Structure 1
Amino acid sequence: MGADLLAIVDIRASQINRCAWCLDMHTADARKAGVEQRKIDLIAAWHEAPALFTEREPAALALTEQVTLLHHEGVTDDVWARVSAVYDEKETVHLLMAIAVINVWNRMNVTARTDLPPEPATAG
């Protein structure tokens, strides 16, 4: 599983959890991993922009949303089948662990009210 996909997952969970610190970090990670800015900008609206995402990305995003919002309806059979269709068992475990980890980090940063890191100094 590539850094680009993991950054996309981290961004989506961080959007849902409203973790600005993580969003700041993971959008930068996504750019470093080669994710197009347009795709980064539209992660929150991935359902409405299917042409921008690979076959595997929407499955990961759907799982990210349902795991992050587990209390709503759990993970549906449809989403699990979608993930299983494009990820093998090992990749699915890796994806699920990545979603779990970002949710823990989001919750810690939101709870602790972690401020955004300072902007780097620019040459003037």
Structure 2
Amino acid sequence: MKRCLVADPSEIIRKIARHYLEKLEIEVVEADAADSALALCQEMPVDAIILDWRLPGKTTVEFLSALRFASGAQRPLVIYATTENDPADISRAFTAGADTYMMKPFDGASFLETLSNAGLAH
């Protein structure tokens, strides 16, 4: 079974993402801040991270840099979740290591499409 970390300060967003992921039979772990998300990545392998654009504790670039250099952490697929359609911001996330992005708020169809395009869902 695949495992996905939903790293978002919003409990509502985490619950919605959990709902969609569990329908796909993907195990879900959650974090509401950068440090706890990084700790989870080191404690257990995750196949993917849905990463909020404003995760408390670190900027997106800082988080992705820490993830890349974390000892023992495998390189998961990173889906950058943002409410801003700012090409420069999205570009920075890609440069830092994000694999794809999706706009929030998301609905079931767009969420599934993003996961399918990223190879996480079929």
Same-fold call, TM cutoff 0.5: no
- Structure in which a larger fraction of residues adopt helix: 1
Higher relative contact order by CA 8 Å / sep ≥ 6: 1 or 2? 1
Which one has the largest radius of gyration?
1
TM-score scaled by length of structure 2 = 0.38
TM-score scaled by length of structure 1 = 0.37
- Structure in which a larger fraction of residues adopt strand: 2
